[in-house]
Amino acid sequence: MTPTLPGLLCLGLSVSLGTQVQAGTLPKPTLWAEPGPLVTWNSSVTIWCQGTLGDQKFHLVKEGRQTPWDRLSPLEAGDKAKFSIPYMTQDYTGRYRCYCISPSGRSEPSDTLELVVTGGSGKPSLLTPQGPVVASGQSLTLQCRSAISYDRFALAKEGARVLRQRPAWQPQAGLSQAHFPLGQVSGLHGGRYRCYGGHNLSSLWSAPSDPLDILVAGWFPATPSLSVQPGPSVAAGQNVTLLCRSWVPMDTFLLSKEGAAHPPLRLRSQPRAGQNQAQFSMGPVTSAHGGTYRCYGSLSRDPYLLSQPSQPLELEISGPADTIRPSQNQPDPTSASPRQDYTVGNIVRMAVAALILLGLGILLFEVQHGHGGTQDAARS
| Distance from C-alpha of 340 to C-alpha of 345, rounded to nearest angstrom | 9
| Distance from C-alpha of 196 to C-alpha of 194, rounded to nearest angstrom | 7
| Distance from C-alpha of 114 to C-alpha of 156, rounded to nearest angstrom | 12
Chain region(s) in the chain for CATH 2.60.40.10:
30-118, 121-216, 221-318
What pLDDT, on a 0 to 100 scale, did the predictor assign at position 1? 35
CB burial string 178-201: b at 16+ within 10 A, e below: bebebeebeeebbbebbbbbbbee
What pLDDT, on a 0 to 100 scale, did the predictor assign at position 351? 64
Instruction: Write out the CATH class of domain 30-118.
Output: mainly beta
Say which CATH topology domain 121-216 has.
Immunoglobulin-like (2.60.40)
* pLDDT by residue, tens only, the chain of 380 residues: 344 443 332 222 333 333 334 445 678 899 999 988 889 888 999 999 998 877 678 889 998 876 677 777 777 667 888 889 999 988 898 899 998 888 878 889 999 998 989 987 789 999 998 889 999 889 999 999 999 999 999 999 998 877 899 999 998 888 999 999 999 999 999 999 999 999 987 888 999 999 999 999 998 889 999 999 999 999 999 999 999 999 999 999 999 999 887 899 999 999 988 899 999 999 899 999 999 999 999 999 999 999 999 999 999 999 764 333 333 333 443 333 444 444 445 555 666 566 666 666 666 656 565 555 444 444 44
What pLDDT, on a 0 to 100 scale, did the predictor assign at position 179? 97
| CA separation, residue 351 to residues 39, 223, 346 (Å) | 97, 86, 9
| Distance from C-alpha of 209 to C-alpha of 227, rounded to nearest angstrom | 36
Cβ atoms within 10 A of the Cβ of 277, count?
A: 19
What value, to the nearest 5°, has the Cα angle with vertex 37 and ends 33 and 43?
A: 85
| Distance from C-alpha of 184 to C-alpha of 319, rounded to nearest angstrom | 42
Instruction: Write out the CATH class of domain 221-318.
Output: mainly beta
pTM value? 0.68
| Distance from C-alpha of 284 to C-alpha of 289, rounded to nearest angstrom | 10
Cβ atoms within 10 A of the Cβ of 217, count?
A: 22
What pLDDT, on a 0 to 100 scale, did the predictor assign at position 208? 93
| Distance from C-alpha of 29 to C-alpha of 98, rounded to nearest angstrom | 7
Report phi then psi at 150, rounded to 5.
-75, 155
User: Following DSSP, what letter does each residue of 309-330 receive, concatenated?
Assistant: PPPPEEEEEEPPPPPPPHHHHS
CB 29 within 8 A of CB 49: yes
What pLDDT, on a 0 to 100 scale, did the predictor assign at position 188? 93
CB 290 within 8 A of CB 228: no
Closest CA to 49 of 26, 22, 20: 26
Q: Which residues pair with 5 in a beta bridge?
A: none
Report CA 191 to chain centroid distance, whole Å: 14
| Alpha helix (H) residue ranges in 259-329 | 326-329
CB 309 within 8 A of CB 318: no
| Distance from C-alpha of 211 to C-alpha of 143, rounded to nearest angstrom | 13
